[in-house]
């Protein structure tokens, strides 16, 4: 990962009114960055406007690997406006609630989740990635159905602070 280019993108977001920035560079789907700023005022006001995309003439910025480590304001705190903590997907893949079809789910509505506890699996490129909670709370809702695809930074599990 080139930290200088990443810092320039973050500074661009800070110094402007850009709400979302998405850069995709694909040599067999190797690079993707999506940075989004979510303001609490905008979330309360209603639906968000269409995202602003990086111009086609902008030089590609590469951040390699499935987990870029780039977190938005909402993902960094693990919360949304007027809600408890949210566990978001750190990668693109397929969401699974269990380790196998016969196994019980990692978490169910009403369960208490602790930091470091495995809450689901995301399959990406035939690799099963155990996703661990970075926040604590009681499971209020599982926002993704078992076997459904998830995007980077997509909310998966809604919690209530304990």
pLDDT score at 156: 95
DSSP class of 66: S
pLDDT score at 140: 96
Q: CB of 36 within 8 A of CB of 153?
A: yes
pLDDT score at 30: 62
How far apart CA 45 and CA 22 sit, in angstroms, is 24
Give all domains of the chain, ordered by start, each with its CATH number: 3-70 (no CATH), 77-160 (2.40.50.100)
Strands laid side by side in the 127-132 sheet: 127-132, 118-124, 93-96, 149-150
pLDDT score at 68: 39
Residues in the chain: 162
- Written as tens digits, the pLDDT of the chain (162 aa) is 467 777 777 777 777 777 777 777 665 556 677 777 664 444 444 444 444 444 333 333 333 344 434 444 444 434 444 478 999 999 999 999 999 989 999 999 999 999 999 999 999 998 999 999 999 999 999 999 999 999 999 999 999 987
pLDDT score at 13: 73
Structure tokens at 116: 């470091």
pLDDT score at 2: 66
Report helix, strand or coil for 9.
Answer: helix
How far apart CA 156 and CA 75 sit, in angstroms, is 12
How far apart CA 60 and CA 43 sit, in angstroms, is 30
Structure tokens at 57: 């003439």
CB atoms within 10 A of CB 33: 21
pLDDT score at 97: 95
H helix or E strand, kind and range, residue 119: strand 118-124
pLDDT score at 84: 86
């Amino acid at each position: 990962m080139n930290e200088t280019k990443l810092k320039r993108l973050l500074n661009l977001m800070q110094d402007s009114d850009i709400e979302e920035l998405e850069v995709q560079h694909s040599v067999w789907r190797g690079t993707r960055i999506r940075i989004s700023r979510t303001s609490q005022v905008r979330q309360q006001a209603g639906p968000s406007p269409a995202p602003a995309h990086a111009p086609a003439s902008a030089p590609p910025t590469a951040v390699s690997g499935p987990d870029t480590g780039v977190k938005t304001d909402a993902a960094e705190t693990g919360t949304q406006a007027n809600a408890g903590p949210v566990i978001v997907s750190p990668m693109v893949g397929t969401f699974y609630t269990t380790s196998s079809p016969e196994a019980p789910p990692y978490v169910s509505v009403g369960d208490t989740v602790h930091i470091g506890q495995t809450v689901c699996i995301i399959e990406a490129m035939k690799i099963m990635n155990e996703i661990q909670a970075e926040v604590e709370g009681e499971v209020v809702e599982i926002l993704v159905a078992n076997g459904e695809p998830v995007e980077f930074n997509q909310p998966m599990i809604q919690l209530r602070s304990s």
